[in-house]
Amino acid sequence: MLFVGEFATMTSKMPDGKAMRDGQIFSARLNNVVTTEREFDELVTKSLPELLDRATSQTKRFLRETNQWGDDITHEKLALRWGYELVERFVVFGRTEVPCRPFFLLDSLIAKSFSQPDPLCYHKELLTPVGRFLDGLASRAVVSRDALIALFYHFYGFSQAHVVKLLGFGQAESQRVYKNFERWRQSGWQRTMNETGLTGSEIEVLEEELRTRPDHLNNEVDRLMPVLQSHYRKSEPEHYPCLSEQKWGQLFHDDYGHDYRVWHLAFCRDCFLEVADRRQAELSSGSKPQVNLHIHPLKKGGVLALFGGDRGGRQHGHTRAQRLSRTSA
């Protein structure tokens, strides 16, 4: 069996013999029945490497069987990332399922996850550094409102104030947006990069490319966004389809559907551009919005000039940093 073979290989890669022996002991225990939540927590805490390896190997097997596997580090990282997300759910859900056999429960969770229609956002071009960056952001935005709000900045360069104006938020919601930006800046972005598997050098390369060839990179983002968004947009409630221009206008005029605005506009480039174009008066901008990639989160107090008309290298190069006005430290 492929799974057993891979699992054995991964287990044998443990750094020392003691860890490997411990792993074998836990492996046996993970096949037995766990009767209490406390026992489950203790066992799972000690068996995380085995659980991660098991979930990762099953993800690999799924990718192989669907002809989506390539023997390279990018695919290995993708499998690890998906394995991690599966184990995270298992750790939280499993407590509610005792008594259970942990390995069986994990296997059933994994099987259930992969039996969903289109469970992975897999596209060969999303395996490039910029593709993985976008995928990581969008994947996180599905579960984190902080990341969701930050998408407006990373994709289009919208600051907090602009997001508030674009979405037509009131005072209370504006405060939430600011809080979202703050948390994202402090820890969210870095955690997302770590969990996506982007190394510091890869991010530096991206930054460098954005400095030297901004148009090229933005065109690449513009091309990949539909692939990415069409996959992750399924995370919206099904009653959130694209709206006509008239309905968007009505929604803003009658001041309802705030959640709808955030979710849909962050995950639908076409609707975003349409709404941003329509609300140019509120945004005090004369030029049309367009894709404008930002790698790092907006620094504290930084305000960007909205809708830079020319996205040429000069504005994205060193001069772009100068356009940030520091209102606070």
Partner 1 sequence: MDTPELNDYRAHLLDALDDQPRRAAEERPGFLQVLVNHERVGSLNCTQPNPTFAYTTKDRSIQHLEIRSESGVLLGGCVAPEAGQRSLRLPVGKGSLILNIQNHFDGGSLQLRYEVAPGWWSHVVSAIGLPTGTASTAAPIVPVWTMATTFAQVVLAVGVVALLAERVPNWLGSEDRAHQLEEELAARQSTQDQIDQVHRQLAQLVEAQSTAMAVSRAEQDRIAQLNTLVDTVAHTQQKLSSQVVAVQEDLKTVKTDVAQEVQTGMRVAVSAVEADRDMVRQDLQSIKSVNETLIKQVALLESRNRELHARLALTSLEVAKANAAAPKPTVVAKNDPPKDTPVPTAVPTAVPVSDALREADRQAFMFWVAFQDGTTEKSIEDLVQEINGIKKGPMKSGWYSVEVNLPNPEPPDRFLESVKRAKIVKSVVTSKAMPPAQ
Helix (H) or strand (E) holding 303: strand 302-303
Number of amino acids touching partner 1 (CB under 8 A)? 49
By CB atoms closer than 10 A (0-12, 13-18, 19+), residue 201 is exposed
Candidates 6, 20, 39, 49: give the one binding partner 1 (CB under 8 A). 49
Interactions with partner 1, residue window 285-314 (CB under 8 A): none
- Residue 67 binding partner 1, by CB under 8 A: no
Given its phi and psi angles, is residue 56 left (phi above 0), alpha (psi -120 to 50 degrees) or beta?
A: alpha
Q: What phi and psi values does residue 287 have, to the nearest 5 degrees?
A: -110, 165
Q: Which amino acid is at 155?
A: F
CA-CA distance, 153 to 245, in Å (whole number)? 23
Interactions with partner 1, residue window 143-172 (CB under 8 A): 143-147
CA-CA distance, 65 to 79, in Å (whole number)? 13
CB of 20 to partner 1, least distance (A): 15
CB of 319 to partner 1, least distance (A): 33
Give the nearer residue to partner 1 in terms of CB position, either 188 or 214. Answer: 188
- Residue 213 binding partner 1, by CB under 8 A: no
**What separation in angstroms does the CA of 141 have from each of 107, 132, 136, 168?**
26, 14, 9, 20
Site string for partner 1, 222-241 (x = CB under 8 A): ------------xxxxx---
CB of 274 to partner 1, least distance (A): 23
List, in order, residues 6 or more apart from 211 with CB less than 8 Å away.
313, 316, 317, 318
Task: Report residue 204 as tokens.
Answer: 């530096």
The region of 90-98, 207-215, 222-230, 291-299 touching partner 1 under the rule CB under 8 A is 90-98
Strands 325-326 and 302-303: antiparallel
The region of 22-30, 66-74, 159-167, 278-286 touching partner 1 under the rule CB under 8 A is 66-74
CB of 7 to partner 1, least distance (A): 14
CB of 162 to partner 1, least distance (A): 21
CA-CA distance, 4 to 177, in Å (whole number)? 47
CA-CA distance, 327 to 316, in Å (whole number)? 21
Nearest to 116 by CA among 230, 224, 234: 234
Interactions with partner 1, residue window 245-264 (CB under 8 A): 259, 263
Give the nearer residue to partner 1 in terms of CB position, either 259 or 270. Answer: 259
Could you tell me if 271 and 248 are in contact, meaning their C-beta atoms sit under 8 angstroms apart?
yes
Site string for partner 1, 4-43 (x = CB under 8 A): ---------x---------------------------x--
> Which residues here bind partner 1, judged by CB under 8 A?
13, 41, 45, 48-49, 52, 71-73, 76-77, 80-81, 83-84, 87-89, 91-93, 96-97, 109, 112, 116, 140, 142-147, 176, 180, 183, 188, 191, 194-195, 197, 199, 234-238, 259, 263
